[in-house]
Chains A and B, each alone.
Chain A
């Protein structure tokens, strides 16, 4: 499995405050990778480091095998749609396509033109007058038409309404299918990621809580419901991610590579959203009992 992005002990500091600290992560090629985490987890910092808008304060980061924004060639291989999808407000849609062509040697003018037509954008319209959804689409068009090997999107749909959000992600998926590119997409909206991602990285406080292909993640996590009992009594190959108890009943979210045979449990599959939330809340508030259990697995 080849790697498009690899971070080792990566950190970014502003004065005394670390926006990202000791982050170690690798992103496989040829996937649509969702980077999910709560606000302040360091997602935006990580992505800005990856496109070279920020310089790291500590650690190492390689994107497509070289340093981010190392030169014209490297800049051309990575497409970026920034948070809030900024554009030049006073320039028209057509101007944006022109600037893309001027600034990118591998610019694909026909793709750009077709996308703008398909989106129904008026080329003469000023970008500042576009709706949020249209602006995001324009930013995506710019990023796609430069023909990147890796497309990085930072919360591209966060400020869009549900309809625009769906449309945007649909276009993204079509482009991925068409151009065979790797995508790294951050969001705190799991439902959006679920729709488009085939690989997931959960980042909380700069640390990767879990990373893996979506299918594998869903297959290896189970919700167990049964009579109340101590999570510690579970076999060693079952890691408890989240546990909740009522007087009589225990509900556990468990990670286990193998099937669960214990007949005292009712075993259900887990949705992506629950899974991510479980990892996020565990990272924020790890109970000692779970900590002990976690350590059982190396």
Chain B
């Protein structure tokens, strides 16, 4: 049975293999250049003292290629769902060839599971290889960016793309068996895949692993400063600290006892210790902007820092692989559920 599945699939397999080879060639040609560039600029920037410029220049190298490769890894699972998954059963139902397949001496369960194993396995291997190549190509850039949990990095590296491919494929096959038509199955797959990816990225991924907690100084926040609320209440904000290769989930300004501070409490503090910060616009300098005096600003932050700090919940860099495997697991479990449903659909009915 697996031989028939292979006979029907081999053209797709050959095309995809050719595609992979082309990508491999492009990456193999451009990849070593990135490594050299990294070594000659970023790695040695300390001695020259131009690290900020070197980093900025380096991470923008091959901008088009970076975007294209990232996009490719986002699109490939969807393509697998559309071209390998959706027609797998639907095409047979549409053309009537299922009447040939299901009346040979092979049960439908075996007929479908051999297809699922072969094509699903190929989908996972192909995507895994692609992800491996892309991860390798990006490694100097990833090292420079140090943002491994960013969605455009995490989703396009290492093992999670394998899960996306398996899921898209299983979704396509099941949609095909349910709708019995290729085109509606393709539409269902596309919508379902995008919806699942968004939902899991935003709602499931943050809860896969409980975050670590740490205390950080106020000036570690990425948007340090004072803001006035619409009601005129001047308060202090710090923003999420950017920790290299970590994923900051939340941060709050707390006092020594760890109590979260309200805007009113901060405002009361500011009014008392650094009232000038809250001076209305136009009081001192120009009429349009309030040019805060840097020394007053820093003095106020120093004052604030004696009382308050940031309580940060974050996924440290060491959680990267755990979260990769957990997310892969989520997608694989979903794929298995879909495949089981599909087997039921095919075994039960049909016309």
Contacts and interface: CB of A to CB of B under 8 A. Distances in A.
A83 B97 CA distance: 11
Contacts, number: 79
A100 B7 CA distance: 13
B96 A84 contact: yes
Contacts of B101: 103
Q: Is the interface of B mostly helix, strand, loop or mixed?
A: loop
B60 interface: no
Given A72-B106, A103-B4, A82 B348 contact: no
B33 interface: no
Interface of B: 1, 3-4, 7-8, 95-107, 348-351
Contact of A89 (B95, B103, B104): B95
A106 B105 contact: yes
A54 B351 contact: yes
A55 B351 CA distance: 9
Interface residues of A, number: 35
Contacts of B97: 86-89
Which 3 A-B residue pairs are closest in the complex by CB-CB distance? A86-B96, A76-B105, A103-B104
Q: Is the interface of A mostly helix, strand, loop or mixed?
A: loop
Interface string A59-96: 00000000001011101101110101011111100010
A78 B105 CA distance: 9
27 contacts: A48-B351, A52-B103, A53-B103, A55-B349, A71-B107, A72-B105, A72-B106, A75-B106, A80-B99, A80-B103, A82-B99, A84-B96, A86-B97, A87-B100, A89-B95, A90-B8, A91-B8, A98-B3, A99-B4, A99-B7, A99-B104, A102-B1, A102-B3, A103-B106, A104-B105, A106-B105, A142-B100
A53 B106 contact: no
Contacts of A48: 351
Contacts of A72: 105-107
A289 to B, nearest CB: 41
A21 B173 CA distance: 33
A231 B105 CA distance: 54
Interface of A: 48, 51-55, 69, 71-73, 75-76, 78-80, 82, 84, 86-91, 95, 98-100, 102-106, 139, 142, 146
Contacts of B95: 86, 88-89
A102 B106 CA distance: 9
Contacts of A69: 102-103, 107
B103 A51 contact: yes
A276 to B, nearest CB: 27
Given A76-B105, A104-B105, A91 B349 contact: no
A100 B103 CA distance: 11
A98 B7 contact: yes
Contacts of B104: 75, 99-100, 103-104, 146
Contacts of A54: 349-351
A91 B7 contact: yes
Contacts of B8: 88, 90-91
Contacts of B350: 53-54
Given A99-B7, A103-B1, A103-B4, A75 B99 contact: no
B105 A105 contact: yes
Nearest to A72: B105
Contacts of B103: 51-53, 69, 75, 78-80, 82
